[in-house]
Amino acid sequence: MKVTEGKEQGGALSPEAYFEGLFGEDEDLARVSESIRERGMPDISVAPGYGRLLTMLVAAARCKAVLEIGALAGYSGICLARGLMAAGRLTSLELNPEYAALATANIARAGYGNLAEMIVGDALASLDKLQASGRRFDFFFIDADKENYPNYLERAIGLAAPGAVIAADNTLLRGRTLNDAKQGPAVQAVRDFNRRLATDPRLLGTHLPSYDGLALFMVR
């Protein structure tokens, strides 16, 4: 994001735009964004600031097994892979085969192909198979269809290693979760998801209100 973007009323920069302007362009992530534009895909990758946060959290927790629900074109996958331990592994779930192929290519081009595993198909079915096989993960990033966020949360808790972190993007849905007039199924599901995170005794964490909202919770 350029420094001149994201101005609030009165001409001042938004906090997000100000901080984005302090960082130089990331060539790998810029390439992913360009590949999204070229194909006319929805431009819904995680915000750059939260992408850096994901990298830092994965690195700080010395994660070896990261699970991503929703790969799109590989933007968040690259951010997650950057923080992995040397012997770590990123597992990405993606419903759309074309998106999965593009994400795989972009992650490989960024130098993380040897750390990445892509599973194509319905995410809930894939999560059930992973749990049945005894897999465990120490970091989760949820950024897929919003109506299934509560279901993804339960699956993530079931797949979590002790102390695992669960992050989820778009918890504000561009302000719709704050607007009582909005009662669509996706909005209601995300509201339910947000409440569960805040009240579930199995979890410890908080909601970050910048960009489009990010949930960060640890499994006790």
Instruction: Report the alpha-carbon distance of residue 11 to residue 65 in Å, rounded.
Output: 44
pLDDT (0 to 100) of residue 12: 85
Can you say whether the dihedral through the CA atoms of 153, 159, 162, 165 is positive or negative? negative
Query: What is the pLDDT, as a whole number, of residue 5?
Result: 44
Q: What is the pLDDT of residue 4?
A: 35
pLDDT score for 151: 98
Q: pTM here?
A: 0.93
The pLDDT of residue 84: 98
Q: How far apart are CA 204 and CA 156, in angstroms?
A: 14
At residue 99, the pLDDT reads 98
pLDDT in tens, the chain (220 residues): 333 345 555 678 999 999 999 999 999 999 999 999 999 999 999 999 999 999 999 999 999 999 999 999 999 999 999 999 999 999 999 999 999 999 999 999 999 999 999 999 999 999 999 999 999 999 999 999 999 999 999 999 999 999 999 999 999 999 999 999 999 999 999 999 999 999 999 999 999 999 999 999 999 9
- Give which of 141, 150, 77 is closest to 110, Cα–Cα: 77
Distance CA 210, CA 130 (A): 32
Each domain of the chain, given as residue ranges in start order, spans: 45-219
> Which CATH code of 2.40.70.10, 1.10.1500.10, 3.30.70.20, 3.40.50.150 fits the domain covering 45-219?
3.40.50.150
CB-CB contact of 151 with 110 (8 Å): no
